[in-house]
Structure 1
Amino acid sequence: MQNFELNNGVTIPMLGLGTFQMSPDQAQKAVVSALESGYRLLDTANAYLNEKAVGRGIRESSVTRQEIFLSSKLWPTVYQDKTAVDKTLQRLGTDHLDLLFLHQPAGDFMAGYRQLEQAYRDGKIKAIGISNFHGKKLTQLLEQAKIKPQVIQVEAHPYYTQSEIREVLTPYGIKLMAWYPLGHGDHSLLNEPLFTKLAQKYGKSNVQIILRWHVQMGFIVIPGSTDPKHIKDNANIFDFELTPEEMAQIAKLDQKKRYYIPNDAREEQYAQMQMDFEAQK
């Protein structure tokens, strides 16, 4: 597995396992499978309700915690809870996180960000992340942050390359981590003739071509799968390289098409949702 370097000098694997929409049982098994297949980056969240299972998967594997880059996300309802970071660590069964995000730009997100900054100073987290931030709230956070974030997690794929956000992030050296990296499984994207042509050329699948495009774009990519074969195949993208001409051809596919439409009303609704994190299995 190859790595990127974050703006604070911490290294992060280019590719990892996302556990969004996985049940606890699925997440635990997927984590074990991923670690056995060479993955070292695992991503979860309070709201996924599978943090405990991710922790169990880590302990069940033969890979030590020190070898793993582990990330999670605080939900807006705990942004003002001074114990939120410690409770997240407890659920995962670890004394630190390599990366901790704010999950949504909702509620008192600056109070949440101050928590992350303090956890960073205390050595409880090695990097700070923000997720789904955009527009004025992204600008506000970057202006007010005493410690600038290392990573932003947003939807990104060849149909939506996040060019505007990347322009904002570039001066800060903030890396983009892509969710929905395969366009939420959109067959139109997966079966683009260009990807089929490149897959034939390199002896890869269309999915592997897209994931390779992500890392060459400089994106950290976290495809989610519960199928051991797919998990293994998703990581098999480091033995070839797309040419600059091929990257330019893929760039023409950008339609600014997204599968999740953020808006303030939805984010405020998320902020009011109550998640029973403690009751998760």
Structure 2
Amino acid sequence: MEYNLIDGKATATAIKKEIAEEVKKIVASGGKKPHLAAVLVGHDGGSETYVKNKVLSCEQCGFKSTLIRFEENVTEEELLACVYKLNEEEDIDGFIVQLPLPKHIDEQKIIMAVDYKKDVDGFHPINVGRMAIGLPCFISATPLGILTLLQHYKIETSGKKCVILGRSNIVGKPMAQLMMQKQYGDATVTVCHSHSATLKEECREADIIIAAIGRPEFVTADMVKEGAVVIDVGTTRVEDATRKQGFRLCGDVKFDEVASRCSYITPVPGGVGPMTICSLMKNTLAAGKKEFYK
């Protein structure tokens, strides 16, 4: 079967251009540039790359950005103090604390401390709760990016059977909520995880599979029905001596054997990843405009 590749990179570039145009208009009419701050703890390779890309995207969108760095041994008190300071800073419209955090810091405590009106990651329980009942809010970036891709490619989701692999708070759970809701996916949703007894059977019946289980090449051809739409959220670094950096990024889907069965499929890299950062930009623009919360 001839598949269509869902190009997240090109879609994100187009959306960032639209955001940049809007920011120009805001500034021209006397408004201020949206301002995003990022807090980075330690020197995790993946987090470094993400934050670098976020700063770059801010430039492309015409935003102001601030990067605050802490060493791995920062105390929970110091990090909380930083969060409270950012909550109070009037010029900062939204900010993120890059996860994961070192083991000695309670991530949930940090997330709870962020002012939900500035929580552009969409992780605060108030935003999560508002999303669950369909109220305006910051939607976490990866699920929002996936929704945007499905809309951009005019992929029909209403009434379709959608299987989500993974039940994390960052992707699996919010994705299930959104795909179920009438105003977004309007689909029939099944959530599977590593302990699901009928996982393969569920996948074989799915019109749309969203793989966010965190296991490289977990989804194989025998799990995908002909004509399905496959969205691959996984990004695991796999050792590869042929690459300059010594690794390659690997998705949750065995692309080479699955693609030929699909009507649409996302690549890794270049699929969901760029859309995650693009969604963060959308949320920051909304924060700057006070779109959800006055």
Q: TM-score, normalized by length of structure 1?
A: 0.31
Give the helix-richer structure, 1 or 2: 1
Pair member with larger Rg = 2
